[in-house]
Amino acid sequence: MPDIKVHHLIYSRSLRILWMLEEMGVDYEIVEYKRDRHFRAPPELEKAHPLGRAPVLEVDGRVLAESGAILEFLADMHPALRPEAGTPEFQDYRFWMHYAEGSLMPPLLVQLIMGQIRDAKVPFFLKPITRSIADNVDAKFTNDQLGRHVHFVDQQLAGHTYFVGNQFTAADIQMVYAVEAVLERSGIGGVDHLAAWHARVASRPAYKRALEKGGPAMPPQ
């Protein structure tokens, strides 16, 4: 087996990589990084990759970044965690692998940023202005887009055990970060199928081992 090292940032997407490796049943080393008081990655992570972001994976000295790309690389090493190439199931798998960060995460990120603007410490006479800006962005963009995506994803799981039918794949691992963000946000309804899916995948022994080794992807509220 190759020599595998995960540069793991606490409370980040790098939990996906630990989970994937646990599903594969391979040995690997964890280099752990803690966030600073501003919840930023420490500068030491830049030594692993110039962008200074997690996850970063080293395989026999080769450095890989971006969680989706890393998961696809690992799935090629362990084909049991992806459908056979060229099948309709593989096309579904590829969709969810890209959808997680390309479509579902952007409105969640905007909502998070607007929440920080809304709660920012500013002089009292500016508070109505910052709150109004955040409320307008959420009302005109975020809320509608997020509701549309949440409904779409929840309905996709209405008749399926996992995101690619009844086969657990790396696409489920890729989707978990955004789904956990959705489930933790108050005021988002219509997530019964998402919640049931999350309970299913969170009960997997490999997921539990990843949590024990790396901690949760989402910070405590």
DSSP conformation letters of the chain: ---EEEEEESSSTTHHHHHHHHHHT---EEEEE---TTSPPPGGGGGT-TT--S-EEEETTEEEESHHHHHHHHHHHSGGGSPPTTSHHHHHHHHHHHHIIIIIHHHHHHHHHHHHHHH----TTTHHHHHHHHHHHIIIIIHHHHHHHHHHHHHHTTT-SSSBTTB--HHHHHHHHHHHHHHHSTT----HHHHHHHHHHHTSHHHHHHHHHH--SSPP-
**Could you tell me the residue ranges of all domains in the chain?**
4-81, 88-204
Q: For domain 88-204, give the CATH number.
A: 1.20.1050.10
More confident residue, 24 or 142: 24
What is the pLDDT averaged over residues 186-207?
90
pTM: 0.91
In this predicted structure, what is the pLDDT of residue 125? 67
The whole-chain average pLDDT of the chain stands at 90
Residue 89 CA to residue 86 CA, distance in Å, equals 8
Residue 110 has pLDDT above 90, yes or no: no
Residue 137: what pLDDT? Answer: 75
Helices 170-184, 88-99: axis angle to 10 degrees equals: 40
**Same fold yes or no, 4-81 and 88-204:** no
* Domain made up of 4-81: CATH architecture: 3-Layer(aba) Sandwich (3.40)
* Residue 221: per-residue pLDDT: 63
**Lowest-confidence pick of 45-49, 111-115, 198-202, 214-218:** 111-115
State the pLDDT confidence band at 186, using cuts at 50, 70 and 90: low
172-185 pLDDT, tens digit per residue, is 999 999 999 999 87
The pLDDT tens digits for 69-100 are 999 999 999 999 999 999 999 999 999 999 99
Mean pLDDT of the 119-136 span:
74
